[in-house]
A and B are shown apart, each in its own frame.
Chain A
Amino acid sequence: MRSAARLRLPSRIAALRASAHPTGVWAAALALPAFAALLERGVPWAGLLLTIAVAALAWEQVFGLLRRYRPSAEGVVTALAVSILVPADVAPWKLALAVSLGVVLGELVFGGRGFGFVNTPAACLAFLSFSFPDVALAPVGGAIVISTLISGALLIVVGLVSWRVLVAAVLGLVLTLWVSTGAVSPVALSPFAFGVVFLLADPIGAASTRPGRWVYGALGGFLAAMFGVADPVTGGTAIVFATLFANTFAPLIDQAVIEVEVIRRRRKHG
């Protein structure tokens, strides 16, 4: 009986991995922090989420119509992730504009979710920070951090998030902070916790080779520390820009890994 039970769990995980729709899993994982945000921030947050979702879904349908695709709702995933880092006092038109730019330039021009090379929520938030420098991204509360950790565990089990990226990012961050300031305060790291799971480790923008994931994660953690993720005011912006930079370098990292592999192979087999 015991051995049967032991066998069943991995096979169930394998079945989950095989059957799960990646976007659906991602949305389910985000639903948990989103629920925490609803509890923490209340109705104004729901209004923000609605604004973002309308903007993201509208552009998705426009591009779907042009390309003759069936209607879809993948923009919900972007909306959930963006809403958690957006401050409550931002004007809806600013938000809609930034999300439109981010969704269109981050994924829709490339063919939809998964075809671009940057994380779309990060692109939306970067456009918001660039265009309206007076807007500071929202601090992330304790309930959201705890739910993020649970969701992160789910994403690792399903295989959508690589634990290598997460470990490397945390190592990169802690080492950089420790070298530069001599102290690491865990309280200040809440936007990092959310950002590293849902922005940096998103497989769409991350490196795709195994050694590349380590380098990519470490680079993300290092950049986040350099951009001031430990400071409560700049924390959200730091992880967003660290993600964008790391996303941009991911193909280069993969290419380097491949070159090293080719050299190693040629040396071994001539």
Chain B
Amino acid sequence: MGPAEEENEGVGEAEFCSTTRVALTARQFPGLRPAFCVEEGTHVSAGDILFTDRRRPAIRFVAPTAGTVQHIEYGPRRTLGALVLDVDPVRDTPPPVAPKENLRETLLTHGLWSSFRTRPFGHIPDPDALPDAIFVLALRRDPAAPDPAAVIAPEAARFAETVSRLTELTKGLVWLCQHEGPALARETGRIRISRSGKRPADTLPAAHMRRHNSVADGGTVWTILYADVLTIGRLLETGQYDPRLVVRIDGPFVARPREFSLLLGADLREIAHVEARPDAGTVRILAGPPGAASEAAWLGPDDQCVTLSAAKPFQRDGGATWLGRQARPRPRPILATNQLDAALPRGLHAVPLMRALAIGDAETAQKLGVLDLLEEDVARLSTCCASGMDYRPLLRGVLDHLEMET
């Protein structure tokens, strides 16, 4: 099926939903310092270069669709804040690009290198790096998220072909992490299937890494999301850069909860405006799994669910007085409850790790295997822990510390 025929069909059975604005933001590429190649007002086509990594100019970031650069913003310390594109109302198909023989070159040139993340630390890998293994994550983050197998199904052959080409980037194995069910690619040579277990924690990327190639004591592996593999597959086969994601929109304020396909960086406020029930009033847009979602304005690459929930109630500050003094709420402890035991993959002990993260003890955390983990793996801890701490920033602090030491 050619790209033109697919145009209005979307990915899988999910309908494609377009927005008038898309953006590349700090949420998608945290800590990235860009060197911009465009200015506000520049017109770009899909796949045109927007900016490069200032430190590693070979890594490019491209426009997800044709449009005009509306707004460029830096974040703190000259990091990327946001680059907002006004999408062209008529979607024209740019001439297909001819992918090079070398996959590494192709991905770098066409802005797809940034789909890889390293473990440990979760950065975009160096252009010439060779990982010990690559993990393709065809995992749903929570039970409500779209089923990766169903999303991949219409493009199954393309997906399997792309997974097999990923072996060109590593000397080791390519692990396809998926749920129970038929294999999403054929297991041959250096391609292996890793199936998630029954426990919720077994569906975390860290569980697969922990089983097959732990990086807790050294080494580097890369991860890539299945949606990015599909995008690479489309580029290799059709020459079109077409980064679409299938997400589920849900929540008490959604008129019609369903799955649809969106462009990477799509404007979620616009989607919320269209999809919210007429009587909803002000809604809060959350992206990510329930319980661990964060407020988001633009669709990120690893968002599988968009939730519209009630606006945050106004909270009284803790200025209540107690015998005329400023009184604070009592801090709550980390309680070693039974459900925390199963909140992390096998071999990772949640409560000792949480204690180490809470006090910033990087040495103990490393011993406990923290290098296998990224924010998405510890999100569940925050929802089970009586202390109400968010372990994601604590984990990032410890990882930053460990990275500085090495």
Residues 318-338 of B at the A interface (beta carbon under 8 Å) = 318, 320, 322-323, 325-338
Among A17, A111, A206, A261: residue with most chain B CB under 10 A: A261
Chain B interface size range: 35 or more
In whole Å, how far is B81's beta carbon from the nearest beta carbon of chain A?
A: 35
Q: Which residues of the other chain, B, contact A204 by a CB distance below 8 angstroms? A: 333, 335
Using A69-B330, A258-B349 as known contacts, say yes or no to A268 and B337 having CB atoms under 8 A apart.
Answer: no
**A265 close to B369 (CB less than 8 A):** yes
- Interface assignment of B3: CB less than 8 Å from any CB of chain A: no
Q: Which residues of the other chain, A, contact B337 by a CB distance below 8 angstroms? A: 17, 22, 159-160, 203
**A114 close to B369 (CB less than 8 A):** no
- Interface assignment of B352: CB less than 8 Å from any CB of chain A: yes
Among the listed B322, B329, B335, B347, which residue makes an inter-chain contact with A114, where contact means beta carbons less than 8 Å apart?
B335
**A112 close to B330 (CB less than 8 A):** yes
Using A160-B337, A208-B336, A269-B214 as known contacts, say yes or no to A257 and B331 having CB atoms under 8 A apart.
Answer: no
In whole Å, how far is B329's beta carbon from the nearest beta carbon of chain A?
A: 6
**B351 close to A160 (CB less than 8 A):** no
- Complex CA gap A261/B214 in Å reads 13
Among B330, B341, B352: residue with most chain A CB under 10 A: B330
**A69 close to B327 (CB less than 8 A):** yes
Q: Which residues of the other chain, B, contact A269 by a CB distance below 8 angstroms? A: 213-217, 219
Q: Mark A53-71, 1 if CB is under 8 A from B, else 0.
A: 0000000000011001111
**B349 close to A69 (CB less than 8 A):** no
Q: Mark B197-223, 1 if CB is under 8 A from A, else 0.
A: 000000000000000011111010000
**A210 close to B341 (CB less than 8 A):** yes
- Complex CA gap A71/B367 in Å reads 39
- Complex CA gap A162/B342 in Å reads 12
Chain A interface size range: 35 or more
In whole Å, how far is A165's beta carbon from the nearest beta carbon of chain B?
A: 10
Counting residue pairs across A and B whose Cβ atoms lie within 8 Å, the total is 102
- Interface assignment of B368: CB less than 8 Å from any CB of chain A: yes
- Interface assignment of B274: CB less than 8 Å from any CB of chain A: no
- Complex CA gap A254/B367 in Å reads 13
- Interface assignment of B310: CB less than 8 Å from any CB of chain A: no
Closest chain B residue to A60, Cβ basis: B330
Closest chain B residue to A17, Cβ basis: B339
Among the listed B219, B322, B340, B386, which residue makes an inter-chain contact with A70, where contact means beta carbons less than 8 Å apart?
B322
Using A68-B327, A159-B338, A269-B217 as known contacts, say yes or no to A208 and B351 having CB atoms under 8 A apart.
Answer: yes
**B349 close to A114 (CB less than 8 A):** no
- Interface assignment of B118: CB less than 8 Å from any CB of chain A: no
- Interface assignment of A41: CB less than 8 Å from any CB of chain B: no
Among the listed A22, A163, A265, which residue makes an inter-chain contact with B216, where contact means beta carbons less than 8 Å apart?
A265
Among the listed A22, A207, A265, which residue makes an inter-chain contact with B347, where contact means beta carbons less than 8 Å apart?
A265
In whole Å, how far is B373's beta carbon from the nearest beta carbon of chain A?
A: 13
**B322 close to A71 (CB less than 8 A):** yes
Using A64-B322, A70-B322, A258-B367 as known contacts, say yes or no to A18 and B327 having CB atoms under 8 A apart.
Answer: no
Among B213, B323, B352, B383: residue with most chain A CB under 10 A: B352
**A68 close to B325 (CB less than 8 A):** yes
**A111 close to B331 (CB less than 8 A):** yes
Q: Mark B100-118, 1 if CB is under 8 A from A, else 0.
A: 0000000000000000000
Q: Which residues of the other chain, A, contact B369 by a CB distance below 8 angstroms? A: 261-262, 265
Closest 8 CB pairs of A and B: A114-B333, A208-B336, A208-B351, A159-B338, A269-B214, A70-B327, A209-B349, A203-B336
Can you name 17 A-B pairs with beta carbons within 8 Å?
A18-B384, A21-B386, A22-B335, A64-B330, A68-B328, A69-B328, A70-B318, A112-B331, A162-B338, A203-B336, A208-B336, A208-B340, A208-B352, A209-B341, A209-B352, A258-B349, A261-B369
